[in-house]
Each structure stands twice: as structure tokens, then as C-alpha cells.
Structure 1
């Protein structure tokens, strides 16, 4: 049975999401923004984030990529499982991630989206975790920085389990 240690409490998640949504709203005021959520992990954070934005024109789409499978470390082999449907040509795009860890998946997704000629691409992550960063990626908006450990809860999973936990935990097998 895994052992869970709390890392980010529910109230802290909410407070950080409101804080980052205000910054994003200020940065994109008067512009159309396309939020691209990275499935499956970012769906909970994206839902909370978008409801806090004060922008008039927001579109939401999703893409899905995988590099973990049922393991706790990235395989490094990234597979695009679902692409976006919205035309992002000339648009401001904000990629919304649950966590940026090695950065390999995010770097792959940014390269993929750039081929669609957006006006700009920035990244928002619930968690920026730099301990194992292998790709030079920029997280423009981060709610929290966590130094180490395998995290679950609030969308983050282990083999598709524990996404439903309302807080973020270190999981030890």
C-alpha cells in the first residue's frame, strides 16, 4: 500500500490558482486566449483556473501526450494521443499543465504547437518541479514549486489512480 505525505493543501491550491489567474488575466486583457490543457492530469487545474480568469474571449481545447505509462519515471518516449481541434494560427496560446518535471513532454508539445503558427505560446503549470529537468523549457506561470518526490492528487496520477485526491501528496511505494 502506498504512503501519502501532504505537500500542498486544498486551500493553498485554491489561493495559488486565484493568484495565477489574476496575473494571466492582467497579461492577456483585451486579447483572445486559447487554453490548451494537457490531458489527463491538467483537467482539474484547468477547470479551476479558467473559472477564475476575467477575460472576455477564452477558448479551451485539449491535447494528450504520454511518457510515463504505469511507472514513476518518464520513459522519454513521448506519444501524442490526442491533438487539438481549435485553429491556433495567429492566436495567443497558453499550455496548461498539471506538472512540469523533466520538461521533455512539454518541449515536445511546444514544438508540435509551434508548427501550427500561433501568435504566442506560454506555459502555465500547477507545479514546476525542476529536480529532474532535462529539457530547457520555460514555465511562465507556476502556482507552486516542489523540489522532489513523486506527486499524486488534484489530477496527478500513478497508473491512472489518485487523480481524485483533493490535495497534492508525495507518494511512496
Structure 2
């Protein structure tokens, strides 16, 4: 892994593709064990989680389904602080076990809004699975059962995460280089 330049910023390696693959397999094994016999619906939050959701889905060994929802709260490298739903949920969630699949949980406000929205549809249960968790940034109390990595409050790209829609295709995760 080497330093990469995206637009006007430099990023340095943080988490390798091999580490990501290992943790995705571990999460999928845990979900497969915990959700056996439940046929969970994975609800992937676009755009950032699409790579993670695809890899996770392929590693899950039990019957499961996947659908997508799009929420927006980012602009450039910072969160706007407001979440707006762009594409809604079309599935009947009544009595279903739902696993929200997110690329990154920072403040937790997006997850809180998602859980509130899902709750009106009477699911049997709602669980959170995230690739990345920034525990120091959480502003709300959440039960995050499945988190691949806990990271500091840094701006990152790669493996589905972007900087102004760029760098989603990187196989590793990179962190914004500190100013010297």
C-alpha cells in the first residue's frame, strides 16, 4: 500500500485489503451463527456500504436477503449534521429480522434515524453492522452488535468510502495525511 492523492488531498494506508477481508469473514460467521433460522434482511445504506455489503453477503452462510436504502449527510470531508432520506424502503418489514449494513458510524444520528424509521414498520428486531465505528464521535447511545473496526476520528477513503465521490474503488482503506 502506498500514499494516494485524491483531488487536492493525500491519503496514507490505514487498513489493508487482507485485514478487511478477514474481518468481513469473521462478522459474516458471527451473523450466520446469531441469525440462524431467521432469514435476515440486510438493509445496506448507499452509497458507501455497497462494497462492504456485497462482500458480507457473499460470506454469510444462512438464508438471507438484501435491499438498499440511500441516506445523505456528507459534503466533502465533513458531515452536514442533517440526514435526508433519498431512496426509501420498499420491503414489508413486519415480523422480519433486519440488519442495517453501514460503511461507517460516527455521530450515530444516521443510525438513530434509520432505527426510528424502521420501527414504524414493525420488524421483529433491528441490528446494526458497520465496517467502521468511531466510538469517540458517538452522540447517541446505540447497540452496535457487529463492527469490523473501531477507528479514531479521522477522515478515510477506500473500500466504498469516498472523498467527493472519488476513491470508492480502492481495495484498502486510507486515512487523510496529517499536515506536517
- 2:56 matched to 1:49? yes
Among residues 83, 87, 93, which one is paired with 2:88 in the alignment? 83
Larger Cα Rg: Structure 1 or Structure 2? 2
Unaligned runs of 5+ in 1: none
From 51, 59, 71, the counterpart of 2:65 = 59
Q: Residue 131 of structure 1: CA displacement?
A: 2.3
C-alpha distance in 1 between matches for 2:152 and 2:82:
24
- For residues 143 and 78 of structure 2, the distance between their equivalents in structure 1, rounded to whole angstroms, comes to 21
TM-score by length of 1: 0.95
The CA deviation string for residues 28-61 of structure 1, in whole angstroms up to 9 with x for no partner, is: 11111100000000000000001000102x1111
Matched, 1:169 2:174: yes
Equivalent residue number for residue 109 of structure 1: 114
Give yes or no for the alignment of 1:30 onto 2:37.
yes
Matched, 1:5 2:12: yes
Structure with the higher strand share, 1 or 2: 2
Q: Where in structure 2 are there 5+ consecutive unaligned residues?
A: 1-7
Distance between the aligned counterparts of 2:140 and 2:79, measured in 1?
13
In structure 2, distance between residues paired with 1:55 and 1:133? 31
SS at structure 2 position matched to 1:74: strand
TM-score (norm 2): 0.91
| 1:94 and 2:135 aligned | no
The equivalent position to 2:146 in structure 1, one of 141, 148, 156, is: 141
Q: Any idea what SS the aligned residue of 2:136 has?
A: coil
